[in-house]
Chain A
Amino acid sequence: MKKKAYFKADEADTGLGKFKGLEVHIGTIVDDEWDEPMGPTPMPNPTDLRAWDHKLLNRYHPSYMPYCQVCCLCTFGKCDLSGDKRGACGIDIKAQQARIVLAAANIGCAAHLAHARHLVDHLIEEFGPRTELIQGPGTEIHAPVSRLVTGMRPRTLEDAAIIVSYCETQLAHTLSATHTGQEGSWLDFESKVLHAGMVDQVGMEIADLVQISTMGFPKADPEAPLVQSGIGMMDTNKAIILTIGHNIVPAASITDYITEKKVGNKVEVGGMCCTAWDITRRDPSAKVVGPISWQLRYIRSGKADVIVVDEQCIQVNVVNEAKKVKAPVISTSDKAVMGLPDRSDDPIDSIVEELVSGKIDGAFIHDHHKVGEVATKVALAIMPKRRKMKFFPSKKQIQKMAEECKKCSECIRACPNDQPVMEAVLAAQLGNFEPLREVYQNCIGCARCESACPNDYDLHSWMVVAAQADCKDETHMVRTGRGAIQDIEIRNVGQPIVFGEIPGVIAHVGCANYPQGGKDVHDMCEEFAKRRYIIVTSGCAAISAGHVKDENGQSIYERRSGEFDAGGVLNVGSCVSNPHIAGAAIKIAAIFAKRNLRGNYAEIADYIHNRVGAVGISWGAMSQKAASIASGFWRLGVPVIVGPHGSKYRRMLLGKAEEERAWTVYDARTGDRVVVAPGPEHLFYAAETVAEANVLTAKLVIRPNDTGKGRSIKLSHYIDIHEKYYGYFPDDVWKYIRRDTDIPITLKDKIHTQMKENKWKEGRIIDPTLLKEQVMGGGK
């Protein structure tokens, strides 16, 4: 069965109907039962959408900020690329930066794709290749990203395998382009970045679709269950199994075992990062401990009796950390074995015995059927003994140790968030733990401070001790991932979004590399939700958004609807659920504008770029996966904002508001070339502060297609947010006025003055497109 999962696309006999030849590389797929005509680019190769990419890259210029001026990728090097020097292979520094960006996008895409491949193969083995894929009720246009990119409707696991094969081929191409002496132009590297991002969206969509279909997740459910979240929610009277990573399969084997053996009153499962969302999607009695940066603080607390890791974003010294608190580790993925002995083929009781006795620090068990039983038995066996142990030092002990501080500042210099760790240690000397507690609030748990400390202080643990009360207070209810957005929801909001009357769709996604704690994510969500934007969340950002209580003790998910509607805050799920956000935008084109999706990428991206006021925000973007996720949104023309640490992706995609050429579009009705307002002004942007991100978000939702009413609503929010965070009336409002109807009524006088000062001229409201072929009559 396993072998059959690796379909060569032209051999596939699928449930799609009769295939008259399926040529993946050329891209002609015939699905006889599907009457939607095939668009121009099914299963595109890396250069098939190059013309579209160039349109975007002509408008949004890559701005490179080299993180390093040398290259050491091959033995010709190290090559000094500073100034106008070139490496031995001929590459210059600009192309080198673009190459690194592509490398990151490839790595991210590979992580999701390998995850998708594992899920598909595993589920085919479990359920058979003809198992139906169901996104949920009201999702007739299921898998919109796959339809758009591949021209296929994945209806069975077998179809999913074909699509994953296509993605794997594309990834091999884009990865190979980073080899020495391959691609040489920054522009073509960048085009391939967009390609890798698009392929990533497809891979993620398949990963989530197959798990939703087979693992009992909520199916496009606006009322997906509220689940318990936060360190304080974990019940230490029970044995605790902590799961970390992104792949549901091993974690599901644990919750299934607990359910089957009815031991839920004695043991519980908490997750971190995306595994947390996916186990709670499967079993709402599981818990979400916290985002990825909570790993060390929770492991070190010693409350987790067994730690099970799967893949991606795991603290890679988890075995050492767990050993300090006498918690065994089970690794489960061939991508992250963590140096542990392979015990997959051994009898369960012998593995349990060795783990309980401490003979081995952990075990690699790739047979997922065994993981649940081993983890549960071990956790139950060692819990009573472990609960008597104390792992953190007392405040008194810390105070004593702190006396030896050398005042060398190395801890501060190592801290990515420039936290005053040394000052906090000096305060602790005097018994004042408040500064350490404050550091905890802004800390991403990287422990770089302690690695740097010549005294080997466990500084991060000290912070956790200082903030123990805060940890206990971490008791929140968060809505688990709902999956896709229903067609009916799109039908209800498609028009107000495209006309601009719902001012925007804002997606908070990605990691937890926050500059000043996770509360910022919540505050940004709330700022826009209360203004009736639609807020979508996923991944670690979705956890942080829910980790703030209002005056009634409620989280944002409790007080706001989970529907895709104005003012709603909806969590789609884990990282691989992000394509539901892209999918919502794509479905707007299909449902509201009746555009064909099938293999029709450029037209739909052009539609979204000009009409759908969507903005992605990844405030704590850290990973290469976040880079590839962003790239997938860029190719659809959706702008992405990251937090200040995102500047380390070393390349922004920025527009120049005054560059008329870049903002000239076709009016699809007449074919005229028309200069439109610069919206969205940028495609990728690292904001320095929440204030800047908020102002920019309000501006980036502006689209050429806004109606007068829509534009005036968007502008009034932009002006209000600008005044709130920047303290004055923005001076570029006049640029966004096409006609009087665009002017927010209550601000008429101010704006009129501004228009006069800037010699404003009346413009037109047009049917905007960047594609000549979209002009009626084909643009001839």
Chain B
Amino acid sequence: MVMRPVPWQTGEICGPESAKSLSKADVLKRDLKLCKKLLLIVGSEAATEKYGKGDMIDYAIALSKAGNMDVIATGGAIKAFVEKGFDRAKSMGAMEVAFRLQDPEWVGPFGKGPYDMIMIYGMPYYMQWTLLSAVMNFGTHITAISISRFFQPHAKWSVPNMKEKQYNALLEDILGLVGGGK
């Protein structure tokens, strides 16, 4: 298992700019303080990814509550949120999100934006990769934080390919930071 901040899918190398390693939650402190409006984007794989006794949808709900974040669920992940009775998530396509995030005026499906920071996980690796490329290249008003387990070079901060146990601990810390820091 690689632990280096290199693209998880070997061929998906990027250009001159690459994300910084989010190996400890603390590195986000400064950016979280600067950010005015945070959006959480959760992909379809979250429903089948484990988190403690639950899944990564449960984590999204906890994170949203802790950080007072709107949630966008992509690829039909919304169904899992609906089933869990969570009503602060709205459905959009990943490609729609990639497009809309390029617009600094975009207020989002809740009408509460514009957002200046996103946290994102749960999409097929390469799709999150392309989405984040749109954000990095054209949505420069946004600080993108990828909290999937595997390194996403187009974010500003990304988890650097972690083992499950370590990753779960990091998720806990991020939850604490987001909740406590705000």
Contacts and interface: CB of A to CB of B under 8 A. Distances in A.
B62 interface: no
B9 interface: yes
A689 B91 CA distance: 13
Contacts of B125: 418
Interface stretch (A141-149, A611-619, A647-655): A647-655
Nearest to A94: B138
Given A688-B94, A689-B75, 4 more contacts: A65-B137, A413-B10, A647-B131, A688-B76
A333 to B, nearest CB: 28
Contacts of B93: 685, 687-688, 692, 696
B8 A413 contact: yes
14 contacts: A61-B99, A63-B98, A66-B134, A81-B15, A82-B16, A414-B11, A418-B125, A650-B130, A652-B98, A685-B95, A691-B79, A725-B79, A727-B78, A728-B82
A558 interface: no
A347 B38 CA distance: 74
Contacts of B43: 688
A452 B15 CA distance: 22
Contact of A70 (B1, B16, B75): B16
Contacts of B131: 65, 647
Contacts of A696: 93
A686 B133 contact: no
Which 10 pairs between the two chains have the least Cβ-Cβ distance? A69-B15, A688-B75, A691-B76, A63-B99, A727-B79, A65-B130, A727-B82, A65-B134, A689-B75, A647-B130
A282 interface: no
B20 to A, nearest CB: 16
A689 B153 CA distance: 23
Contacts of B75: 687-689, 691-692
A158 B44 CA distance: 53
Contact of A688 (B8, B16, B44, B99): B44
Contacts of A726: 76, 78-79, 82, 91
Nearest to B44: A689
Nearest to B124: A644
Nearest to B101: A63
Interface string B27-53: 000000000000000011000000000
Given A688-B124, A696-B93, A414 B10 contact: yes
What size tier do the contact residues of chain B reach? Answer: 35 or more
Nearest to B17: A82
A461 to B, nearest CB: 21
Interface string A51-68: 000000000010111111
Nearest to A68: B15
A80 interface: yes
B75 to A, nearest CB: 3
B95 A654 contact: yes
B137 A93 contact: yes
Contact of A66 (B8, B11, B124, B133): B133
A517 interface: no
Interface string B127-164: 10011011001101000000000000000000000000
- Scoring A70, A93, A645, A727 by chain B CB atoms within 10 A of each residue's CB, the highest score goes to A727
B64 interface: no
A500 interface: no
Contact of A727 (B83, B99, B124): B83
Interface in A669-701: 685-689, 691-692, 695-696
Nearest to A650: B130
A301 interface: no
A414 B12 CA distance: 10
A648 to B, nearest CB: 7
A695 B93 CA distance: 11
Contacts of B126: 416, 644-645, 647-648
Interface in A384-427: 407, 409-410, 413-416, 418
Given A687-B75, A727-B82, A65 B124 contact: no
Contacts of B134: 63-66
- Scoring B11, B82, B123, B133 by chain A CB atoms within 10 A of each residue's CB, the highest score goes to B133
A647 B76 contact: no
Given A64-B137, A686-B127, A654 B99 contact: yes
Nearest to A63: B99
Nearest to A649: B130
Contacts of B17: 69, 82
Nearest to B43: A688
Interface in B52-94: 74-76, 78-79, 82-83, 91, 93-94
A68 B82 contact: no
A93 to B, nearest CB: 6
A751 B98 CA distance: 30
Contacts of B15: 66, 68-70, 80-82
B125 to A, nearest CB: 6
B14 interface: yes
A67 B9 contact: no
- Scoring B74, B78, B95, B96 by chain A CB atoms within 10 A of each residue's CB, the highest score goes to B95
A230 interface: no
Given A413-B2, A644-B124, A689-B44, A63 B95 contact: yes
B124 A63 contact: no
A61 B47 CA distance: 31
A654 B99 CA distance: 8
B102 interface: yes
Given A82-B16, A416-B9, A695 B127 contact: no
Interface in B90-113: 91, 93-96, 98-99, 102
A69 B14 contact: yes
Interface string A350-370: 000000000000000000000
A452 B2 CA distance: 14
Contacts of B1: 407, 409
A243 B61 CA distance: 53
- Scoring A63, A83, A648 by chain B CB atoms within 10 A of each residue's CB, the highest score goes to A63
Interface string A710-752: 0000000000000001111000000000000000000000000
Contact of B74 (A409, A416, A688): A688
Nearest to B9: A413
Nearest to A657: B96
A515 interface: yes
Nearest to B74: A688
A644 B127 contact: yes
Contacts of A414: 9-11
A689 B42 CA distance: 13
Contacts of A418: 9, 124-125
A144 to B, nearest CB: 31
A530 to B, nearest CB: 20
Contacts of A645: 126
Interface string A606-645: 0000000000000000000000000000000000000011
Nearest to A685: B95
Nearest to B15: A69
Nearest to A414: B10
Contacts of A695: 76
A69 B44 CA distance: 27
Nearest to A81: B15
A418 B133 CA distance: 20
Contacts of A68: 14-15
B76 A65 contact: no
B44 A686 contact: no
A67 B79 contact: no
